[in-house]
Amino acid sequence: MSNVTVVGTQWGDEGKGKIVDWLSESADVVVRFQGGHNAGHTLVIDGTIYKLSLLPSGVVRGKLSIIGNGVVVDPWALLDEIDRVIEQGINITTDILKLAENATLVLPLHGYLDRVREKTYGTSKIGTTGRGIGPAYEDKVARRAIRICDLEDDVVLEYKIERLLEHHNTLLHGLNMKEIDGQDLFKKLKDVAPRILQYSDVVWLRLEEACKSGKRILFEGAQGAMLDVDHGTYPFVTSSNTIAGQVASGAGIGLGKIDYILGVCKAYTTRVGAGPFPTELNNDIGDLISTRGNEFGTVTGRRRRCGWLDIVSVRQAVKVGGINGIALTKLDVFDKFDELKVCTGYRSDGITLQYLPASMSRQANIEPIYETIKGWKENTNGLCSWSQLPVEMIKYVRYIEELIEAPIDLLSTGPKREDTIMIHNPFTKSSALNSEIIIS
């Protein structure tokens, strides 16, 4: 048995969807363990583009796909996504998709509150997607959330709605905003309940059974380490823990059953929304990276901010997240560059740092320290063998590997699944480089 966790090492959008899809062929079960429909994965399979937010990437390959209790679930968004994927020819049944009975629901009022608060923040807004993820997690922590299992019992559901609105309507009244109608919310939830409850299951038990029977489990993270609510650029973060440690509580599986943690990292850095970004390029180079990398959000469509690779934050993500190896993506974006820059340190208040400080003010004042690397000026898009790579690209890869203090396991040279070079197999932990195993 070998269970693998895939997480982002930057501000999300690292290309985890493709990597998870590529690894899912060797997996029996694919699990989402945090986040909500604010995260997005884009998969390209046989020329068809699948855009997923809540559904684990394994559904497109018919693998048992589980949404864990650490995910906050908008039932209407989930059903819309299921319908959309079914229209694309993917068969999603109750045998394929399992939804944790103790997962928290994202309600219409959560999105409403999210957007209201962002508006009141003005220039200090966090940059959320406005989909209600943060308010839903707040209700969960405050012990007033409505969960999947509550949809089964009308008495419990009415009680929980009443308790929930005692809090939220008081706040809305104070803001002179329209209050939430409890009966209307109850009706909406009862209408959606039958379709949602058919997927409800005891997820932790299913994972225990999978482990006992020797199944390979792939845990799929959303967002990235620098958006972690504890370890990211707080307060410009998401509302959940995005590092691999969240797998245990977010899926209901023991830490000892997580065998390998694969971090996904772009060859450059991007982020969506507000917040510090030390290597951001507000110039023609940033525009070129954005264009060549097609840097627009899967969920929001927002243009991503682009910059040079930030080694300092990636290395920190490796250490904090217990990452064993890295999948390096979008190398081909740099094919036409004469030279590349890499951030190897920070200056903050006259001090040189090799870590991202927690202080909001110190993060805002960071100046990157760069080293310049020679580009390769060759077309590498779609290459699937290490021996085909330009020498300067190999030097770049080895340089990154040395600085982040973690091995590079996979290289991605394009959006398609087959545009992948395996150096070490995360499931078997075996080397493929010497024998030139080419994955296609």
Q: How far apart are the first and last CA of the chain?
A: 24
Structure confidence at residue 322 as a pLDDT band (50, 70, 90)? very high
Question: What is the radius of gyration, based on Cα positions, of the chain?
Answer: 22
CA nearest 68: which of 103, 39, 35? 103
Gap between the Cα atoms of 42 and 58, Å rounded: 12
Residue 370 CA: distances (Å) to CA of 267, 291, 307, 395, 417: 15, 23, 12, 17, 32
Only one residue has tokens 């991605």, namely 412
Positive or negative, the CA dihedral 232, 412, 3, 436 is negative
Nearest residue to 324 via CA among 395, 386, 408, 205:
408
pLDDT for 437: 35
Taking Cα atoms as reference points, which of 288, 411, 408, 403 lies closest to residue 338? Answer: 288
| Residue 438 pLDDT greater than 50, yes or no | no
**Tokens (6 digits) for 229:** 């609510």
pLDDT at 183: 96
For residue 235, cis peptide bond before it (omega within 30 degrees of 0): yes
What digits encode the pLDDT tens for the residues 183-232?
999 999 999 999 999 999 999 999 999 999 999 999 999 999 999 999 99
Residues annotated as part of the active site: 13, 41
Instruction: Please indicate whether residue 49 or residue 3 has the higher confidence score (pLDDT).
Output: 3
| Contact between 86 and 92 (Cβ < 8 Å) | yes
Angstrom distance (rounded) from CA 431 to CA 286: 35
Q: Does pTM surpass 0.85? A: yes
> How far apart (Å, rounded) are the C-alpha atoms in residues 52 and 222?
11
Q: How confident is the model at residue 124 (pLDDT cuts 50, 70, 90)?
A: low
Give the pLDDT band of residue 177 (cuts 50, 70, 90). confident
pLDDT confidence of residue 330 = 94
- Of 2-6, 159-163, 365-369, 423-427, give the lowest mean pLDDT range: 423-427
Q: How far, in Å, CA of 291 to CA of 367, rounded?
A: 25
Task: Please say if the pLDDT value at position 1 is more than 60.
Answer: no
CB neighbours (10 Å) of residue 428? 12
